[in-house]
Amino acid sequence: DYASSLLGLIPGARRATPGLKDLLALVNAYLPPEQVERIREAAEFGTSAHKGQTRLSGEPFIAHPVAAAAILAELHLDTDTIIAAILHDVIEDTPTPKDQLAQRFGADVAEIVDGVTKLDQIKFKSREEAQAESFRKMLLAMVRDLRVVLVKLADRTHNMRTIEAMAVPRRRAIARETLEIYAPIAERLGLYDLKLELEDLGFAALYPQRYRVLERALKRARGNQKEFLKKIEQQLTAALIKNEIVARVAAREKHLYSIYRKMRRKRATLNEIVDVHGLRIVVDKADTCYRALGSVHSVFKPMPGRFKDYIAIPRVNGYQSLHTTLFGPNGVPIEAQIRTEDMHRVAESGVAAHWKYKGGDA
């Protein structure tokens, strides 16, 4: 959609705070006018409820929930979720009671806001991985409506985008919690884009020095690999066309935090990690995926033991794709994912797809 494609043109723009105008433009693109009007009313309600409150950055408080709502609007979520995001701090930070929200905006909105408020009251203390896992499970189990978690993730994402306003010790605590609790929850729910953003922002806030060094080295490595990757893409595209398969072939960029984690886990250097290339092939139907796999294997030999069929056996979060690793030119490994457009959408936005606005009474 238009607003997010514009944001994509400006590096770092996603980290800025979208205002009410941006939010309304986003929802206008997929919701009918009367629902956009309800969202505008919620923004007015929130603005007067939070009147006089400011964020650490000095801007009016309402800028935060509006920005969180914009993150969910980019996922085309339904009106109640957007309104709940706008009002998510109203019960906790203002004298507004839950009943009043229910009267003005309906029981669903009130329940979601109440759920987010209750989540905020559980404090995460432990650094132990095992306890982080049980915390994630508890958090997912205690919410009846998963939209509560979606609003919480948007809340956290905007807080991470603006974390510079916070003092360093608090910043580190929030960043650690983001990496240990919220990014894995986003992953569990299949919200891949949010997961990546939470990880990179968390990594940058927790280890700023490592982040900068790695970012610089990665930029250099990618510059050197451009031509090489282009050639592989062309070779594979040619093979697919020869077999009359219509496909989008694109290089997949690895993100800083996942590279960092891999380096630590495998005790590997940056070059060993970035030398493994990622490719994605998107086709029309499931059976085309298998034909595409055959074409790809005829160009580059597959690495034994690395093929995974997540189409026949999807992951728990609904993720589907074929995974294979190829021996590319000079034996350079290429990790390929093959999937349909539908599978691609689920891979990017996971459970959010279930609460997408579908029109009518869907």
Q: Compare residues 55 and 255 and give the one whose CB is closer to Mn ion.
A: 55
Q: Under rule CB under 5 A, which residues in 90-109 are in contact with Mn ion?
A: none
Is 89 an interacting residue with respect to Mn ion (CB under 5 A)? yes
> Could you tell me which stretch among 89-97, 259-267, 292-300, 313-321 binds Mn ion (CB under 5 A)?
89-97
Cα three-residue angle 16-18-20, rounded to 5 degrees: 160
**Residue 93 annotated as catalytic:** yes
Q: Compare residues 116 and 256 and give the one whose CB is closer to Mn ion.
A: 116
Q: Compare residues 117 and 225 and give the one whose CB is closer to Mn ion.
A: 117
3-state secondary structure (DSSP) of residue 1: coil
Closest Cα partner for 119 from 96, 80, 145? Answer: 145
- Distance between CA atoms of residues 160 and 172, nearest Å: 11
Is 200 an interacting residue with respect to Mn ion (CB under 5 A)? no
**Residue 92 annotated as catalytic:** yes
Residue length of the chain: 362
> Could you tell me which stretch among 152-160, 229-237, 256-264, 292-300 binds Mn ion (CB under 5 A)?
152-160
Q: Compare residues 78 and 89 and give the one whose CB is closer to Mn ion.
A: 89
For residues 30 and 76, the answer to whether their CB atoms sit within 8 Å is yes
Considering only 74, 155, 197, 335, the residue that binds Mn ion (CB under 5 A) is 155
In the DSSP assignment, the letter for residue 194 is H
Indicate which residue of 92, 145, 253, 275 is catalytic. Answer: 92
Is 80 an interacting residue with respect to Mn ion (CB under 5 A)? no
- Distance between CA atoms of residues 157 and 160, nearest Å: 5
Residue 71: CB minimum distance to Mn ion, A: 12
What are the phi and psi torsion angles at 124 (to 5°)? -90, 125
Which residues touch 266 (CB under 8 Å, ≥6 apart)?
A: 272, 273
Indicate which residue of 37, 44, 80, 93 is catalytic. Answer: 93
Using CB under 5 A, count the residues that bind Mn ion: 2
3-state secondary structure (DSSP) of residue 255: coil
Binding site for Mn ion (CB under 5 A): 89, 155
Name the residues annotated as catalytic. Answer: 92-93
